[in-house]
Chains A and B, each alone.
Chain A
Amino acid sequence: MSLSQSDMNERLQDYGKRIESLAHSVGLDYYPVDFELVPNNFMNEVAIYGLPIRMPHWSFGVRYIHQLIRQSMGHSRIFEVMFPGNPCHGYLVNSNTLAENTLVTAHVLGHADFAKNNHLFARFAEMSGTNIVEHAAAQAHRIEQAVRDHGQQRVEALLDAALALEPHVDLDQELHRPLYPTHLKPAAPRGDEDSFTGRFRHLPGEIERAEASRERRTAPIPPHPESDLLWFIAHYGPELEDWERDVFLAVRYESFYFYPVFACNIMNEGWATYWHARLLREADFLPSDLYLDAVTCHSNVVRPFAGEQQAALAINPYHVGFSMWERIVEQQGLERAREIRRDEDDFGFIRNYLDAELAEKLGLFVFEAKSDEGIKVAGRDVNRIREAILAPKFNYGAPRIRVGEMKHDGTLVLVHDHEADGRGLDLERAARVVQYVHRAWRRPVLLQTVDSRGAPHELRSSAP
């Protein structure tokens, strides 16, 4: 079925309205959604950049080309991108069929409900505001202005560093967090006069010494290992100009915004898929041929692997999430499902609600990739499956790296927590990131990790 653009618009608006009232009647709760039909190449860009208007960087160009290739080979098709906010922004592809776009409309409403009600989303929305799309566009314009004022080379060097550190933020802290105290608090006089030290301090000669130690001392920077590298560099980079700090903070802002989507991917896509399937099923106003087309589209989205294959070396979050929500609603009711949607992220969702029975039904397994044996099925134990699904999600998917120290000469010392990560860094890439950071930081940068034998290894920036 091919429709003119205006026909498509008209009918989609009609169905959209009716799907929305159906959504309200079954209790979906969301901020208004602005839908926009956009050309396919624009959709690719939105998906690749993660935002409709985002700062320029050559690395996005590489991802863009990858997407074009995947698409031209039929390996990837993007149907929808949704940006939470008030209003939310939902993008649909104008060359997709009416059936597909009707399904996507319902899908986006599921996302909108999730974004408004999930705790993690709500907490981050509170910090980053409800107009992220406009905010990111303003940031992009500021960075383009910086290119005009300071030249592409300089801005690009900063973005090389900032975007490389994108996941290295401290998500337990606020987006707008205060600077470290500049001075250590004087040690408060203790109230426990009865204790041994209390009595001890009253011995002759001890009082003066205690007074002296109570003087204000300059606090070391950072006062504790700092995992928010973007924040630290923005505020403590010894030679950064204000507009350069702004670049780091812009990347950090977006990083905070992206986190809930990252951390709730399976839940959120599953939830949206559950709702598009349900809303369409209940939308008796849809012509049956359109409904059947939409069902075909649905089954493509939730199929775990391509038709001719037996297995996939990845899980399909739509399929897994969808199946989990269907079962939760079936066994525990919609109200309970809504509570889970409110309280969990993927970590809790997978650990608490993916059980052995469902894992078996979904055909989940753990695989192991060895250079001499190839990739093998390595078991179907549900605990291992859960951990294999969650492993790439810990710490925003990045190694744990902290600012350990800033030396007197401004040397930045980064420390990799290789014990928590279980191994050292990829040294070749790490050396390049150290060099990126050095160009922004302008003083030496050190990074401590371990080599392939577990022996301490230090990378040091070299003069550019």
Chain B
Amino acid sequence: MTFSPDPLLSRWQQPLRISAEVGWYDLFSRGARDWLRHNEKVRESVEKSLPNLIAGPDVLSGPGGGTVLVPVKLAEHARFRLRDTDGETGAGQGAGEDGQVLKPAQPQQGDQNGGDAGSGQGDLQFVLELKVEDVLDWLWEELKLPDLKPKASAREQDQEFVREGWDKRGVRSRLDRRRTVKQAIRRRAIQQDPAPFTDDDLRFRQLVRRDRPATNAAVIFALDVSGSMGETERQLAKTFFFFALQGIRRQYAKVEVAFLAHSAEAWEFNESQFFQTSGTGGTVSSTVFKLAKDVIKERYDPSQYNVYLFYASDGENLVDDREPSTEALRECCQGLNYGGFIEIRPAYGISPETELAGIFARMQRESLPLGMARVTGRDDVWNALRQFFQEQQARAEAA
């Protein structure tokens, strides 16, 4: 006997937020066991499509604090079903004249699957909360990104404890909940009358002494915010910056970040203002390169810092500014491990070389530590990241 007044009218309106992890006490439950297995499967598929998912605006605007929220649909166990037709009928109960509308038409959503009207279940979304650290582990695996190489000159060695592997013993603060739950599930799956979890399931992050560069890194993000950089362009830039920064943070104990933006002039911003800023008028790139040069000179002594510069723009620049830009960039390069130019042109397919692409191309031929990549959509963000990280590594090794 159940009490459920009307499953159809009372469908959930909002995506649910369900933590992918379940409390210890729930390990008693078979429902929770199978739910965790479902989550594992979702994670597996999320991992596969992570680069796409993670670049969504929903993810980037996550609450920080070391986690990102990935909206995912509950996995559906498929069964044979007749195709949906328009004009399904059913039996109902209650008042209403012939032809009376009981539920107005839903505005059409861009559902590629042809809509799952009436199924109810397909609508349910939940949000998987993932640790940025985990995401980056997967990403680096997926993208096969090499580690950044600190400059030889700055490569003083220091011993540091770093996370490596897992152990069955450890202090509580290093308990890895995800691994432990995984272990408990694995064991429960193969035991008769399993205990919910045992000490044997516990997995602690193991710390090992490892050589690590003692120096710090500095990242300068420079963004063209002139009128031609629209919302899409800035979103792509933000995505790239976000992951470039995460990648660098992965490898340096301490990372300082500077945010610069320019149209015809250049300013420094804090992170939250950075992406809100928009300017009008012309584009004078040399202004931001000059500002970058000053920032490096004042704050990031190249003997103390590994300095990275990433500049995102649509590539348009005043032709008159070619010489000043080249000069300012050349000066920057003296303090840089690596500088990357992300040319963001979502609206264009194949287009001729832009003004700035020309500048970077000429300077690359001078063997300056610069690279560039064109980004027309989300997928390109990953290619750009991979390319920059690989180039940077190749240069560092050659040096």
Minimum distance in angstroms from B85 CB to a CB of chain A = 6
Q: Does B210 contact A (CB under 8 A)?
A: no
Q: In this assembly, does A190 line the interface, its C-beta being within 8 Å of a C-beta of chain B?
A: no
A107 in complex: contacting residue of B1, B35, B189, CB < 8 Å: B1
A371 to chain B, nearest CB (A): 5
Residues on B with beta carbons closer than 8 Å to the beta carbon of A152: 189
Please determine whether B6 and A314 come into contact, CB atoms closer than 8 angstroms.
yes
Of all chain A residues, the one with the shortest Cβ separation from B28 is A41
User: Does B83 lie within 8 Å of A374, measured CB to CB?
Assistant: no
Is A369 in the interface zone, CB < 8 Å from B? Answer: yes
**Selected contact of B86 from candidates A59, A165, A371, CB within 8 Å:** A371
What is the CB-to-nearest-CB distance from A147 to chain B, in angstroms, rounded to a whole number?
5
A401 x B92 contact (CB < 8 A):
no
Asked if B78 contacts A433 (CB within 8 A), the reply is yes
Q: Does A313 contact B92, Cβ atoms closer than 8 Å?
A: yes
A452–chain B nearest beta-carbon distance, Å: 6
Complex: how many Å from CA A41 to CA B7? 20
User: A160 and B90 in contact (CB under 8 A), knowing A49-B30, A56-B33, A141-B192?
Assistant: no
Q: Which residues of B lie under 8 Å from residue A163 when comparing CB positions? A: 77
The residues of B that contact A168 with a CB separation of less than 8 Å are: 80
When A79-B2, A366-B89 are in contact, do A58 and B189 touch as well, CB less than 8 Å? Answer: no
Report A78 CB to chain B, min CB distance, Å: 5
Number of interface residues of B (CB under 8 A): 69
**Are A388 and B95 neighbours in the complex by a CB distance under 8 Å?**
no
Interface check A66, CB cutoff 8 A = yes
Please name all residues of chain A whose beta carbon is closer than 8 Å to the beta carbon of B94 when the two chains form the complex: 304-305, 309-312, 363, 365
Contact string against B for A residues 293-314, beta-carbon threshold 8 Å, 1 for contact and 0 otherwise? 0000000110111100111111
Q: In the bound complex, what is the Cα–Cα distance between A69 and B18 (angstroms)?
A: 10
B82 touches A425 (CB 8 A): yes
Are A305 and B117 in touch, CB under 8 angstroms? no
Within 8 A of B (CB), among A78-100: 78-80
Q: Is the CB of A424 within 8 A of B83?
A: yes
Query: A166 contacts which chain B residues (CB < 8 A)?
Result: 79
Stretch at the interface among B99-107, B133-141, B344-352: B99-107
Known contacts A304-B94, A312-B5, A313-B90; A41 and B31 CB within 8 A of each other = yes
Contacts of A371 in B (CB 8 A): 86, 105-106, 108, 115, 117
B9 at the interface (CB under 8 A from A): yes
* B93 lies within 8 A of A311 (CB): yes
**Mask for A35-64, Cβ within 8 A of B = 1, else 0?**
000000110110111000110111111101
Question: A65 at interface (Cβ–Cβ under 8 A)?
Answer: yes
Interface pick from A202-210, A239-247, A377-385: A377-385
Interface centre among B34, B114, B121, by most chain A C-beta atoms within 10 angstroms, is B34
> Does A158 sit within 8 A of B, measured CB to CB?
no
Chain B residues near A62 (CB, 8 Å)? 35, 38, 74-77, 121
Closest B residue by C-beta to A78: B2
Chain B residues in 8 Å Cβ range of A41: 29, 31
A309 touches B117 (CB 8 A): no
Q: What is the chain B residue whose CB lies nearest that of A168?
A: B80
Number of A-B contacts (CB under 8 A): 280
Residues in A neighbouring B171, C-beta threshold 8 A: none
- Please state if A269 and B105 are interface contacts (CB–CB under 8 Å): no
Closest to A316 in B: B93
Flag if B6 contacts A309 (CB, 8 Å): yes
A329 to chain B, nearest CB (A): 20
Taken residue by residue from 307 to 326, chain A's Cβ proximity to chain B (1 for < 8 Å, 0 otherwise) reads as 00111111110111000000
A169 to B181 alpha-carbon distance, docked (Å)? 37
Given A49-B30, A313-B9, A370-B105, verify A58-B93 contact (CB < 8 Å).
no
Chain A residues near B78 (CB-CB < 8 A): 164, 429-430, 432-433, 436
- B101 to chain A minimum Cβ distance, whole angstroms, is 5
Whole-angstrom distance between the alpha carbons of A300 and B317 in the complex? 71
Select from chain B the residue with minimum beta-carbon distance to A108: B1
Q: Tell me, yes or no, whether B84 is within 8 Å of chain A by CB.
A: yes
Q: Would you give the shortest CB distance from B4 to chain A, in whole angstroms?
A: 4
CA A169 to CA B246, docked complex, whole Å: 53
Q: How far is the CB of B122 from chain A (nearest CB, A)?
A: 10
> Contacting B90 at CB < 8 Å: which of A165, A367, A373, A421?
A367
Answer yes or no: A230 CB below 8 A from chain B CBs.
Answer: no
B10 contacts A by Cβ under 8 Å: yes
Are B93 and A310 closer than 8 Å at their CB atoms? no
CB pair A315–B91 under 8 Å, yes or no, is yes
Closest B residue to A71 by CB, please name it: B4
Interface string of A388-407 (1 = CB under 8 A from B): 11010000001101000000
Within 8 A of A (CB), among B1-58: 1-10, 12, 16, 18, 29-39, 41
A301 touches B3 (CB 8 A): yes
Within 8 A of A (CB), among B95-130: 95-106, 108, 113-115, 117-118, 121, 124
Judge whether B89 and A452 touch: CB under 8 Å: no
- CB-based nearest A residue for B85: A423
Q: Which residues of A contact B100 (CB under 8 A)?
A: 376-377
Contact residues in A for B75 (Cβ distance below 8 Å): 58, 62
Any B CB within 8 A of the CB of A339 = no
Given contacts A65-B74, A311-B95, contact A56 B6 (CB under 8 A): no
- Are the C-beta atoms of B80 and A148 separated by less than 8 Å? no
Please determine whether A164 and B89 come into contact, CB atoms closer than 8 angstroms.
Answer: no
- Asked if A368 is at the interface of the complex by the 8 Å CB criterion, the answer is yes
User: CA separation between A385 and B94, bound complex, in Å?
Assistant: 13
Assembled-state Cα–Cα distance A154/B104 (Å): 46
Within 8 Å of chain B (Cβ to Cβ): is A427?
yes
A159 CA to B99 CA, complexed, in Å? 44
Let me know if A284 is at the binding interface, CB within 8 A.
no
Chain A residue nearest in CB terms to B103 = A375
- Whether B366 is near chain A, meaning CB under 8 Å from some CB there, is no
Whether a CB of chain B sits under 8 angstroms from the CB of A264 is no
The list of the 5 closest CB pairs from A to B, nearest first, reads A311-B94, A61-B34, A64-B31, A61-B35, A59-B77
28 A-B residue pairs with Cβ-Cβ distance under 8 Å, sorted by A, are A45-B31, A48-B31, A53-B30, A56-B37, A60-B34, A62-B75, A62-B77, A62-B121, A66-B121, A78-B3, A147-B189, A306-B5, A306-B6, A312-B93, A367-B90, A369-B88, A371-B105, A374-B102, A374-B104, A375-B101, A376-B101, A377-B97, A399-B80, A399-B82, A401-B80, A421-B82, A425-B82, A452-B83
Given contacts A70-B4, A430-B81, 10 further A-B contacts (CB under 8 A): A45-B30, A49-B31, A57-B37, A77-B4, A79-B3, A107-B1, A273-B1, A313-B6, A363-B93, A366-B90
**What is the interface of chain A, defined by CB distance below 8 A to chain B?**
41-42, 44-45, 47-49, 53-54, 56-62, 64-66, 68-70, 73, 75-80, 104, 107, 141, 144, 147-148, 152, 160, 163-168, 269, 272-273, 300-301, 303-306, 309-316, 318-320, 362-380, 384-385, 388-389, 391, 398-399, 401, 416, 421-430, 432-433, 436, 452
